[in-house]
Each structure stands twice: as C-alpha cells, then as structure tokens.
Amino acid sequence: MATSRKVSTLTVITYVGLSLSLLCLLLAALTFLLCKAIQNTSTSVHLHLSLCLFLANLLFLTAIDKTEPEVLCAIIPGALHYLYLASFTWMLQEGLHLFLTARNLKVVNYSTFSKFMKKLMLRVGYSVPAVIVVISAAFRPSLYGTPARCWLSTQEGFIWTFLGPVCTIFSVMLKCGDCHENWDKLTWLSFWILKTKLSSLNRDVFTLQNRRMLTFKVMAHFIILGCTWCLGIVQVGPAALTMSYLFTTINSLQGVFMFLVYCLLSQQVREQYRKCWKGVRKTKVDSEKYTLSSIAMSDAPKHMIVSASL
C-alpha cells in the first residue's frame, strides 16, 4: 500500500513537473531562436541545451512505459541515452563557456574566439554522446530496454554507460579552474573573475550588473544543471525515499528553473518580451481600427440611400 502510494505520488510529480518543464523549455528555445538581439554564443548554448532537454523530457513522458514491441523498447532507451548525454554535454559546455568567458573578457580578438568556441561546441555537443551510444549499442544491444521500462538495464553494469559519462562531466566541472574541493569554490571563483574583469574594463559596465543577481545566476547554473542529478545517484540507505522525492521534484522542474534564470531574470530578454508585446498590441489595435473603418465604409452606402430617398 505504502509502495503503491509512493509510486503514484512520484508519478504525479513527474508528469506535472515534466509537463511544466516542456512548456518552459519550448518558450525558452523560441526566445533564443527568434530574438535576434540577444543571440550570441551563450544563447546558442542555451538553445541547444533547451532543445535536448525538451526532446528528452518529451520522449520520457510519452514513451518510457512503451515496453511493447521489444524493438521499439530498445530504440526508445537508445534515444533517451543519447538525448540525456547530449544534455549533460551541453551542461558541461555551458559551465566551461561561463568560466572561459570570464577569463577572456580582456582578449582583444574575443569575438573571433567566441565564433571558434561556437563551432567547436556544436561538434562536441552532439558527436561525443553519439560515439558513446554507438559503442554501447554495438557491445550490448540487448541491454537497451527492460521488462518494466524502456531504459538502460542494470545487468552487467550497463547503466554505467550513462552514469560513467555523467560522473566524468561532474569531475571535469569540479576541476575546472583549479577548483578541486567543491562547487562553492568554482561558483565564487567565476563570480570573482567576472567582478575583476568587468571592473578593470569599465567601472560603469559592472555597476550596471546587480551583484546579487550575478551571483545567483552563477550559482543557479551549477545547482540546476548539475547538482540536481547528484540526488539521483545517492538514492541509497535510509534517506533513499527522501532523495527520491527531491530528485523527482527538482529534476522534473529543471526546464522551469532554466526559463526563470535564463529568460525571466535576464533584463535583455525581458526587454525583448516587452517589445514583442508592444508589437502584438499595436498590431491588434491597427486590426481593430481597420475592422471598424471597413464596417463604417460598408454602412456608408446604406445611409446615402436612405438620405437620397428622403
């Protein structure tokens, strides 16, 4: 009874959270794709990350329980394996880009460096996960899919074809910038570099940035895009149930957090939203004026006929 209630509650949390995340990820992707004024290397990374997470969450939500036929239940976990690994790869590149951007703000040819990074990220973001999935499928194709769910089997340690790269990504992000001990050091080092570089470039530039908001965004990046997945790995022991609820709740709402941090809390994005909203309202007003003028013109002959008869 308790077990079924637990499964039911986690299922509801998963479906509600992922549904909200899908909506937010779609809005975020459209924002990064259509708003030309904000497009740069950073928003390009955000776009690809949003698309990978959107497709992964959509596939998980609609097909994770489709265990029949067996061929389909082997293709689905293969696709999920690729999409989630691609998401993690883009998460890693997001963190590295943040750090490298902070360190290279003084570089004279930073725009050229940024273009090079954009091309490199695109290749790495999709090719590395593909290589891992192809090798995994070539050696153990039968372990894609289980009788209960269309996910990777835990037999023969096959699940580590997913957990292994994830742990590697965590290790790289922890060691980035000579930060070997914890997330806080990387967060505060990135913030310190941003503060130092921006201040040295132009005092007015940094005064335009709210320190608390900048710190929040740096910390939110590592918490949302990395630490939440750690909860899924540590679901063992007496705290397994609590960790399971935390992991399911926070991870299913990952898309919502991303939309909040990268769109709603971005002044530049909010300005684009205001411009779009003003454009929509102007179009609506112009349409209403045109409709009223058309009605007036169509009614004009009738009044002329009546006045003529009088």
Q: What is the pLDDT of residues 35-67, one digit of tens each?
A: 888 888 888 888 999 999 999 999 999 988 888
What is the residue whose two structure tokens read 């935390």? 246
Give the pLDDT of residue 148: 85
pLDDT, position 201: 44
CA 47/CA 122 separation, integer angstroms: 11
- Name the DSSP class of 37: G
Report pLDDT digits (tens) over 174-227.
Answer: 665 444 344 444 455 545 544 554 444 444 444 444 445 555 555 666 666 666
The secondary structure of 118-173 as a DSSP string is HHHHHHHHHHHHHHHHHHHHHH-GGGB--SS-SSB--GGGTTHHHHHHHHHHHHHH
Crossing angle for the helix pair 70-103 and 41-63, to the nearest 10 degrees? 160
pLDDT of residue 273: 87
Alpha carbon separation from 85 to 80, 127, 297 (Å, rounded) = 8, 10, 62
Q: According to the model, what pLDDT value does residue 75 have?
A: 92
Q: Cβ distance 28 to 226 under 8 Å?
A: no
pLDDT of residue 18: 92
CA atoms within 13 Å, Cβ hemisphere of 257: 19
Backbone angles phi, psi at 39, to 5 degrees: -75, 125
* Residue 155, Ramachandran bin (φ over 0: left; ψ between -120 and 50: alpha; else beta): beta
Residue 174 CA to residue 198 CA, distance in Å, equals 24
Residue 38 carries which DSSP code?
Answer: G
Q: Are 146 and 65 spatial neighbours (Cβ–Cβ below 8 Å)?
A: no
Which segments of the chain have a pLDDT < 70? 1-7, 98-114, 173-239, 284-310
Backbone phi and psi for residue 107, each to the nearest 5 degrees, phi listed first: -70, 135
Give the pLDDT confidence score for residue 147 in this predicted structure. 86
The full length of the chain comes to 310
- pLDDT of amino acid 156: 86
Residue 127 confidence (pLDDT):
94
